[in-house]
Amino acid sequence: MNASPEHQRILLDVADLDRRIAQAERARTKPAQASRIAELVAIRQEQLRELTTLTGTRDDARTELKRLESDVTLVEQRRTRDSERLAAATNAKEAQALEHELASLAKRQSDLEDIELAVMARVEDADAAVAAQQALLDVTTSEGSALTSQAKADVAAATELGSQLARDRQAVTESLPAPLLAEYTRRAANSAGAALLTRGTCEGCRMLLPGTDLNDIRRAASDAVVSCPECGCILVRTEESGL
């Protein structure tokens, strides 16, 4: 294939645009924050599970405390009632029974209040555990939200950049002969597509070409489309090629 040196040089611009378009596409589909966001999602799920467990433990303790408070209230009411009955009792046997019941109730109330204090301590510990876990969850959520917002902004920027680069590519390739562009496109599927030959080195694969290959390229006509024997991209020759 033959193409003017000017058209071949334009392929370098096309290759650069394609490289930048590929970078923009990677930034659009795989933002830099994606890995950390995925980690935070997993961390947050585990923290939510732990928070659910701790909240359940706290709620159970609160329910138990309410039951104990209700039991203490009932015992206090019975003690008040029995005390009033004892004060009004005229029968010695009845008074003795009431005194016995009052003693039992006092013991029952004391036991319940001891248990109540222990459960209150459990509730306080459970409240503290829930608060600490919620704080961890808030930190994770905050970081995730910030990274997600940044990722969305980066994706939007990459999308806009990709669109602009695609428009630039369209403008650049309009001047190229269709066969040359098709040949470049075919090669670009497996290599840089086109690269500068600089001092005997292919800038596409960074390989120094053997002397025999350089001699063949040196003898080729200026409008001949030559290839890198290593990566297969079109080699664009300029005064920097060292030929």
- By C-alpha distance, which of 214, 204, 189 is closest to 234? 204
Q: What is the DSSP string of the chain?
A: -B--HHHHHHHHHHHHHHHHHHHHHHHHHS-TTHHHHHHHHHHHHHHHHHHHHHHHHHHHHHHHHHHHHHHHHHHHHHHHHHHHHHHH---HHHHHHHHHHHHHHHHHHHHHHHHHHHHHHHHHHHHHHHHHHHHHHHHHHHHHHHHHHHHHHHHHHHHHHHHHHHHHHHHHHTTS-HHHHHHHHHHHTTS-SEEEEETTEETTTTEEPPHHHHHHHHHS-TTB-EE-TTT-PEEEE-GGG--
C-alpha dihedral (21, 26, 29, 34), degrees to nearest 10: -150
Q: Which amino acid is at 15?
A: A
Please report the pLDDT score of residue 55 as a whole number. 97
Q: Phi, psi at residue 40, to the nearest 5°?
A: -65, -35
Residue 178 near residue 216, CB atoms below 8 Å: no
Please report the pLDDT score of residue 239 as a whole number. 85
What's the rounded Cα separation, in Å, for the pair 119 and 125?
10
Please report the pLDDT score of residue 132 as a whole number. 98
CA-to-CA separations, 168 to 12, 21, 59, in angstroms, rounded? 13, 10, 63
Domains and CATH numbers, the chain: 5-21+176-241 (no CATH), 27-173 (1.10.287.1490)
CB atoms within 10 A of CB 113: 15
Q: Mean pLDDT per 10-residue run, the chain (243 residues)?
A: 94 96 96 96 98 97 96 94 87 88 94 96 97 98 97 97 97 95 95 94 94 92 94 92 76
